[in-house]
Amino acid sequence: MRDVADRAGVGMMTVSRVLNGTARVSEETSRRVYSALEELNYRPNHLARALRGFRSNSIGLIVPYLYDPFFASCAHAISAVARQHACSVLLTTTNESPEAELEECRQLLRRQIDGLILIPAGSGRSLLGSPEFAGTPIVAIDRPVPRSRFDRVLVQNQQGACQAVQHLIEHGHRRICFIGLRPEVYTIQTRLAGYEQAIEAAGLKSETFFHGEDAQATFEFLRQLHARRDGPTAIFAANGLSSRHALHAIGLLGISVPDQMAFIGFDDFELADVLHPALSVVRQPVERIGQEAAEMLFARLAGDTSSSSQPRKLMLPVELVLRRSCGCHNDHP
């Protein structure tokens, strides 16, 4: 910057002013500065800017896994919004470990991020209560952080699950099985509540299987289910992973969908309509979740009253996408 100033025959301050438009500079000098910038192809140093005491213009993003399409799509949307705000994204992954989450969060603070978007590790317990994070706006996605001051963007898990199960009931099913991951995971828990709400309203009996993250266990469970005479005639799978494992097992066992077993999953995915039969699912507005979360964060960063106001809570609607696995459109098999 010194070099640029010398070359243009001005002081460093003038260069700074030209770059930021902080104050008026005469046509003549600003032209000289611009050409000097060109010739030395000068690049401002964001780090120094940040150090000077203002914003670093970067936010943190913490996700459990990136290879989960749901998280990845959120991250993509967040990255896009951040760019619009001339803001960089520092990405880290936790593999669902609260300890890693805490450590990564600290690292991000050391890097002077202005704010943080977080998909909390799924264990239910969170180590982020510590006051060391009090100064940083944080938005939680997909899962809330219990008893925290963090803003949150969630979806209507309970309503979505309830609606899906009701739909199965309308198809005439009276024995419907819920398959999910560990019940400590918030989303599973909430979707279970929706399932039970629908089951109870119809006066039916609930039947559940957890540990859908274990492919082998899921297979065993479905094998026994299939052997029973009075076994369920429909399955509601509470997330993408348990859907996959259940469908895999169903395929191996030669169970026909939806005739012998109707199926609705939670979470849409690219190949859902390529499957045979095409899968009915509860779809989350994935991109919008990331987008809203990012915009919520930037709103915080813009507002100066940030610390005083209440946590914002946004709950986005889900959509029941009816394809064929639930029994709909089954006229041309």
Partner DNA sequence: CTGTTAGCGCGTTCAT
Partner DNA sequence: ATGAACGCGCTAACAG
- Residues in the site for DNA, rule: CB under 7 A? 1, 9-14, 16-17, 19-20, 22-26, 28-30, 44-45, 48-49, 51-54
Task: Please choose, from the candidates 21, 2, 20, 44, the residue with its C-alpha nearest in 3D space to the C-alpha of residue 10.
Answer: 2
Which residue's CB is nearer to DNA, number 10 or number 192? 10
CA distances from 322 to 167, 184, 282 (A): 9, 29, 9
Tokens representing residue 250 in the block: 């169903």
- Of these partners, DNA, a second copy, none, which one is at the site of residue 28 (CB under 5 to 8 Å by kind)? DNA
Phi-psi region of 31 (alpha: psi -120 to 50; beta: other; left: phi over 0): alpha
CA distance readout (Å), 189 to 140, 199, 251: 17, 15, 27
Closest separation in Å from C-beta 19 to DNA:
6
Minimum gap (Å) between residue 294 Cβ and a second copy: 13
Which tokens in the block code for residue 11? Answer: 């002081």
**Partner touching 41 among a second copy, DNA, none, CB below 5 to 8 Å by kind:** a second copy
Pick the closer one to a second copy by CB: 58 or 156.
58
Q: Smallest distance, Å, CB 247 to a second copy?
A: 5
Residue 12 or 252: which CB sits closer to DNA? Answer: 12
Amino acid identity of 186? Y
Note the residues at the interface with a second copy (CB under 8 A): 41, 43-48, 50-51, 56, 58, 61, 65-67, 69, 72-73, 75-76, 79-80, 83, 88-93, 104, 106-112, 132, 244, 247-248, 251, 269-271, 273-276, 278
Q: List the single partner that 323 binds among a second copy, DNA, none, CB under 5 to 8 Å by kind.
A: none
Please state the closest distance from residue 58 (CB atom) to DNA, in A.
15
Whichever of 16 and 136 has its CB closer to DNA, that residue is 16
Please say which residue, 91 or 193, places its beta carbon nearer to a second copy: 91
User: Residue 238 corresponds to which amino acid?
Assistant: A
Which among DNA, a second copy, none contacts residue 270 (Cβ within 5 to 8 A by kind)? a second copy
Q: Which does 201 bind (CB under 5 to 8 A by kind): DNA, a second copy, none?
A: none
Which partner from the list DNA, a second copy, none does 80 bind, CB cut-off 5 to 8 Å by kind? a second copy
Q: How far is the CB of 70 from a second copy (least distance, A)?
A: 9
The C-alpha angle 195, 201, 204, rounded to 5 degrees, equals: 75
Residue where the block lists tokens 């082998």: 216
Per-residue burial over 137-159, b = 16 or more CB atoms within 10 Å of its CB, e = otherwise: bbbbbbbbbeebebbbbbbbbbb
Q: How many whole angstroms separate alpha carbon 203 and alpha carbon 166?
A: 12
Shortest spacing between CB 8 and DNA, in angstroms = 8
Q: Which is nearer to DNA, 7 or 248 (CB)?
A: 7
**Rounded least distance, CB 2 to DNA, Å:** 7
Query: What residue 69 binds from DNA, a second copy, none (CB within 5 to 8 A, per partner kind)?
Result: a second copy
Partner whose binding site includes residue 146, from DNA, a second copy, none (CB under 5 to 8 Å by kind): none
Residue appearing with tokens 């469970």: 221
Tokens of 226: 């299939």
Q: Could you tell me whether strands 280-283 and 319-321 are parallel, antiparallel, or unpaired per DSSP bridges?
A: antiparallel
Rounded CA gap, 280 and 327, in Å? 9
CA distance 193 to 199: 10
Give, in order, the Cα–Cα distances in Å from 60 to each of 80, 104, 219. 14, 9, 39
Quote the least distance from Cβ 36 to DNA, whole Å: 12
